Structures are given as structure tokens and as C-alpha cells.
Structure 1
């Protein structure tokens, strides 16, 4: 919708030139005629540098935290908050017409998002459901890769608006701490919220674990509808104590929605969901205790928002494969090849536990650690791999502008006996060549991602595709 000067003043709460705005962006390359360009001072550059380009491409308003000579400018105290408000306004406040389920946590939020999206799609039809996640953006039956866990506010609100306009009613929004702290989801109306767990991650962005937790907690403070927290996790238990109306899910007796009688089978996992009013037997095609928690949380949200238990049973049994989350790479070599996004010590430990439980032979893991991330977890990754795998190969993850050799050395400090092969393709090839019948090869760290960020630039790289190619070359 088009905002005139009066509407813009209402949205931003500051003086605004008499202009009209029909779109908003903080990317000068994406400016189109009638756009508001928000000059955000980022981590590596200042958006004010690109104001001339934005004006040349037709921007009618510049939003900045200081006056800009020669440009129609609205000066605001917080450019990110202003961008979020503008994104909501130009898209007609789309989330008020949708049922938005927010999912946050350190590990499991993408899987939980896919699980809940799958349940909703099975129950209400794919055309009526949408997903914004780390791996994909799904609008009805259309899918495309995501750029980051939670996109910037114009992408979030624009996608929600498109979903609304195309008849989607139920949306799962994977909500990261960055998305909350950087105002990417500000102004979104959440109908329900789910918290999976909290462990050491993103301490390059959050100064402390307490700050990380409090940021996540804000999602529950924004949500008026059902709120579910994993009470098996200390931070989840704390969240349930601190935010009124929060229900607990998990495997302990403290849970309002408790998973009991858990049984792993070759076809998946069976368990009973004990709710405040019933006991509901469930079968899911996923493996692992952590997936029991993911499905329990998603099922609890579905029941709390009114889903019929019989429909839920059928939907859980039909949950699809989650890209890059214990994803099998089909082959006829007699051993399993699994790709998983596990990129923290806690996540890697959980996936290796599942691998051990379903493997008669050896567990071989290819893993590393990312650059620009908390370096304290690097030796912990090595220690976990040493403890839980039979063979480990340390390789390069997304090193960005850090030295891959230096990162690998920090990981190897926790895994002195593990081989280092910096080239990721060569490391995967070595693991596959080492595997014998009955073994399992786990390729951890990047999961669904299709780009590897290296000091010399980005390259196309998708673990499952590379593994399939190498398996094919082996004849």
C-alpha cells in the first residue's frame, strides 16, 4: 500500500517530507521507484554511503539516524525499529490476518518448524500453510531457499503479505535471537510460541548467555496465545516459571505435555503423548530422542491451538524429511551416509548419539567449526567427536575471513587423534573410502546449506550433493 506524508509521520513518529512510499528496503540495490531506503549502520559498513545510489534508483525517502544533505530524510532514533514499522505498514500489517507460530531456541528450531509445518499442511492442506525457516521459505506449494534464519523486516513482512494474498492461513516463523534483537520480526503478531532449548552459541553477537536467553524470552512476552517451553532444558524450565501462561513439554513429570513409552524402531519412533486430558499414541518417521522433543513441542502447540487429536496422529505419522537434519544420502554401498546441520557441541553430541543407536558398525564423522563464531566451542566440538565417534575427520566449515588452518587447530585441541583434511570434498571422500558395510558416515555442520564461505570467496557446496557424487564415482 502507498503511505503519504501523514501516514509516514504516524508510523515513524518524526517529521517526514511530503512524499509517498510504496516499499521499504535497507539494500540500495533493491531500491525501486517509490521506495524508502533505510540507511542502517551495519557491522561492516554504513548504509548512508549508498544514499546516492538509492536516490538514483528512485527512492523517495531516506530514513537515517542523522540528517543527510540533499536527500528527503526522516531522522529517527533507531533505524532498525523504523524499518520494521515501515515494513509492517507498507504491507498492510499482514500477520494480523494470519495465524503465526513462532519457534525459537538454539538446537531443534528448524526441525521443529518443519515438523509443525508438516503437521499443519497435513491437517489443513499445503495451500493454506507457509514456512519461513533457516532452510527454506515455503508459500503454499512453492518452495525456495532461505538466505538466513530470520530475514530482514522487509523480507519477513513482504513474505507474510504474499502468503496472506495467496490464501495461506497458518504460518510457521523460525525466529532467531538475531531476528528478535535486530528488529527483523518486530510488529509481527504471534498466535503461539515454542521454545526448544538454549545452549552456547552466538556469543560473538550476544555478550553473555543471560543476554542470549533474555532475547529469546521476548518472543514469549510478545505472544498472547499458547506458549510451550521444553522443561527438559534448564532455560526452558526457567522460561515457564518466568512468563505467565507458559506450558511445559518434555519427558519429565513436570511437563504438561509429556512424552512417555518411547520406542525406537527401524521405521522411526513410537511414543505416547500424555496431555492434560488424554494419552495419545504417536508414530513419527524420525529417529532420536531430540526429535521426540521436537515432535512433542509441535504436537502440543497444534493441540493447544485446536487441532483434533485424530488428525494430529495421522499428521505426525506423515512428517516429511527435514532438509539437512539427519538426512540420508541413498546408496548401495552397505553403509549409511547422513548429512546434518549440527554445528555446536550440544547438537553434534545429540546427532552422534542417534547415529550410534542405529549403527551396528563404526560411526565416522566429518566435522569442523565456523569462523566468526564463538571460538570457545571449537575444542568442545573436537572433544564430543572424540568421545562419541569411532573415527573423526576435521575439515573446513564456513571459515569466512578466518584461517581454516587456525580453526582446525583449535578443533583438534579437543581431538588430538583426529585427522585434518581442510578441503571439505576431500574430507568427505576420505570418510566414504574408509567406510565398510554396517558403518555410518556423518557429515556434520552445514546440513541444507548450498554455499561455503571461505577467505578467498564463496563457493557452491552442498554436502548431500557432494556425497552423492562421490558415491557415484566409486562405482
Structure 2
């Protein structure tokens, strides 16, 4: 919708310069500017948006919003450019979250799986056309799927997406909310009708600095949410969240949980468990494997019950859940293999440990030979918290029989340096460094024997690898398929 001069002045809290009479759109990306747009010059981590003002003007920007004056430019100076970007984005798209039920899912690990679980439950109960999903892996609008650029997009993309969902007839939206999304005001002002907290472990300290600051970013979502709120009672930060935010209920396998997980049974085709609460219990079967996925599904199921889902409908929706892209994703092949290949997004020591523990259990349960091994290919990201690198090496050495350290997203750092820092924490007798990710996966496949499980961790659903010399296309599951075709009988 068009924002006139008086509305813009009200939103920004200042008088507008001459000539800035209307705005039809807003962006922080000068390449996306169209005639009549407001361009918000956001100070970034590497670049200041002010340097892109000439490009925005050339493309037809009618208003520049910045945190300082820009000479010879119709500029509005605001104290916080990101806050202004969020407010303008909500307004220009008509505040779509006011007419939607938006449910936020936050935490370090399990956000995407919990989001998929909740979306699957809701779409199974209320219909695909009435539900939307926004995650790290993809965006789903009334059944139509598209790739996601990041966990929580910038404010204009968030509000545009919600507006599209509303226009498509969507009524309920599950949104994965990252700490970056909160701290960088990408979702500020969005109306959340409920929230789920999965857990908090070491990650993103390059942005937040401390675990306390990291927690406060997650906590903010619960402050905003005005509907059901659920936190993982097995996590110390989840228990703290429940004690601090009124109305927050808990889930987990501990006696004090409001939604208590009991009688967990691992099966070849998934996991069965009971979810007991104040007014009864429901037995659920999910195709997902692993104790951490029990918690992910339990959180989603508890939330569905909180918003009024019928237990019988919930049982069917959980049973029919689809595989989550890049989350313990079994790579399908055209021919039968004597081993199994798993792709997972795990990129922290805690996440990697959880995946490898499930891989170990799966190898024991499905391998015809009792000595089925776990082979792990993994790396650590560059330009991120360096302290977790040796921790990941230690985890892989402890829980995998064979570890191959390779390159994840190196960004501006030297991939060899990163790999060596990971290997510091690893057992040299069980660890090999192969910097080229494709070659590392090839070696893992060549080493795999009958009953083994190969885990390719770190990238999951992602289709681009960020390297010092530029981005390259790389999708782990696709590369596995290509290599299996190339190797042929060598891996039969």
C-alpha cells in the first residue's frame, strides 16, 4: 500500500524533506529499489548502507532513511535504521500479521524440525491451503514451495512473505525465528500468536558475545507472543524461560513438565511415545528418529493441543509427517546400497553429537552386521565462533568410528586453517582432513561397508557453499547421488 507524507512522518517520528510525498515500497538493498521506494541505509557488519545511496537514487528512490545526514539527498535521519526498516515494512504491506495466526519457533537446535512438525500437524488438521511455513530450509505458501535465503529474512522480505500468505488465503503461519532475526529487528513489530522454545547451546556468540545476551534475544519472542507459549523443560534455559515469562508451559521427559513425554520406543520406521498432560494422554508415532526429535515433535504436538487440535487428528497428522529437508535426511538412491547415507544440518558440537548418537543407534538397529560403523564428514564455518571448532572435532572422534574433516562455509577464512583447528580436538588415529568437500564425501562413500552409516553434516538443505573466492553451488544430497553414480560397483 502507498504511504503518504503524513503517515511516513508519523512512522518515522520526524518531518519529511521536500519532495518526499509518498512511498510505495521499502528496501535496505539498493539493487531492489524501484521508483517510489524508500531506501533504508542500514549500517552493516562489513558495509554501511549509506555508500549505496547513489545507486538507490539512480534507481528511483523517493526517500532515504539513514542514521546520519547524506549531503544533497532527501534524507530522514533516525536513531535506529533497522527499527525504521521494520516499521516501514509492516506499514507498506498493511500489517499482515494482524490478520494471521503467526507461531514463532526459536532455539539453537531443532528449530527447523519443530517448525516442520508443527506445520505438518496444522496442515494435516486444517488443510494445506490454510497454512504457511517459513524456515531455514524453505518457504511454503498454501502448498507452494520456494527456497529460503536465510533462517529469518530481513524485515521487508518477512512482511512481504506474510502479505503473500494472507492474500493466498493462509490463516496459520509457522515461522522459524532466529536470534539474528530478533537482534537485528527483522521481525520487530510482527504479531506472534504463540511461541515454542527448543533449547539453547553455544552458537552465534560472534554476534551476541555472551550466552546471556543470546538468551535474551530468544526470550524476546516470548515477551511478544500473546498466545500459547511452550518451552523445553529438559533444557536449563527453557526452564528459566518458563519461570520468567508468565503463562509459559513446558514439555519434555521430566516429571514436572506440563506435557510429559513417556514410554519412548524406537522402531525401525520411526519413534513411538506418549504425551501426557493435565487432562489426558495421547500416543504418537513419528517417522522421525532420535531422542532430540521426540522433543521436537512433542513441542509441536503440545502446541497444537494448546491451540485446540483434537487428539485423534493430532495422531494422524504426526503419523503422516514428511521427512524434513537436511535434518537426518536419508538420501534415496536408484539402487540398493549395503550402507546408508544421512545428510544433516548439524553445525555445532551439540548438534553434531545428537545426530551421531542417532546414527549409532540406527546402525545398530538396521545393520545386518553388529559392527556397523558410523562415518562422519563434517567441517566448521568460517567467520564464526572459533571456540567450537575443536569441540566439534572431539565430538566426532568420540561418537564416530571414522571422521573426515572438510570444508563447510569458509566465508573469508582459509579452509585449511579452519580444518586444522577442528582437527586439534580430534583423535588423529580416527581422523582424516580432506579440505575439498566433494572429495571428502567421495572418500567416505569408498570407505563405507555393509551396515555402516555415512553422516554428511553441516550443510543440510543448503545449496550454496560460501568460500573465500566466491560462492559455489553445492548440495550435499545431490553430490552424494552424483558420486554414487560415478563410483558405481566400487560402492556396491
Please indicate the TM-score interval, normalised by the length of the shorter structure. Answer: over 0.9
- Alignment-derived partner of residue 223 in structure 1: 225
Structure 1 residue 402 corresponds to structure 2 residue 404: no
Matches of 1:103 and 1:50, distance apart in 2: 34
- Unpaired runs of at least 5, structure 1: none
Pick the aligned partner of 1:428 from 418, 424, 441: 441
Matches of 1:462 and 1:317, distance apart in 2: 28
Q: TM-score, normalised by structure 2?
A: 0.96
Cα deviation, 1:36-67, whole Å, max 9, x if unaligned, reads 00011101111111111111111111001112
Report deviation, 1:125. Answer: 1.0
Report deviation, 1:73. Answer: 1.4
Structure 1 residue 13 corresponds to structure 2 residue 17: no
- Alignment-derived partner of residue 362 in structure 2: 358
Matches of 1:202 and 1:326, distance apart in 2: 22
Report deviation, 1:5. Answer: 0.7
Pick the aligned partner of 2:348 from 333, 337, 344: 344
- Alignment-derived partner of residue 212 in structure 1: 214
Report deviation, 1:287. Answer: 0.3
- Alignment-derived partner of residue 367 in structure 2: none
Report deviation, 1:69. Answer: 2.0
SS at 1:258's partner residue? strand
Q: TM-score, normalised by structure 1?
A: 0.99
- Unpaired runs of at least 5, structure 2: 365-371
- Alignment-derived partner of residue 30 in structure 1: 32
SS at 2:45's partner residue? coil
Report deviation, 1:10. Answer: 1.2
- Alignment-derived partner of residue 473 in structure 1: 486
Pick the aligned partner of 1:70 from 53, 69, 72: 72
Report deviation, 1:171. Answer: 0.3
- Alignment-derived partner of residue 368 in structure 2: none
Q: Following superposition of structure 1 onto structure 2, how do residues 227-238 of structure 1 map, counting pairs within 5 Å?
A: 227-238=229-240
Report deviation, 1:474. Answer: 2.1
Report deviation, 1:373. Answer: 0.9
Matches of 1:251 and 1:23, distance apart in 2: 48
RMSD: 0.8
SS at 1:409's partner residue? helix
Matches of 2:52 and 2:216, distance apart in 1: 34
Q: How many pairs align?
A: 475
Cα deviation, 1:180-207, whole Å, max 9, x if unaligned, reads 0000001100000000000000011011
- Alignment-derived partner of residue 248 in structure 1: 250
Q: Following superposition of structure 1 onto structure 2, how do residues 317-466 of structure 1 map, counting pairs within 5 Å?
A: 317-331=319-333, 332-360=336-364, 361-417=372-428, 418-466=431-479
Matches of 2:240 and 2:122, distance apart in 1: 28
Matches of 1:207 and 1:347, distance apart in 2: 20
SS at 1:359's partner residue? helix
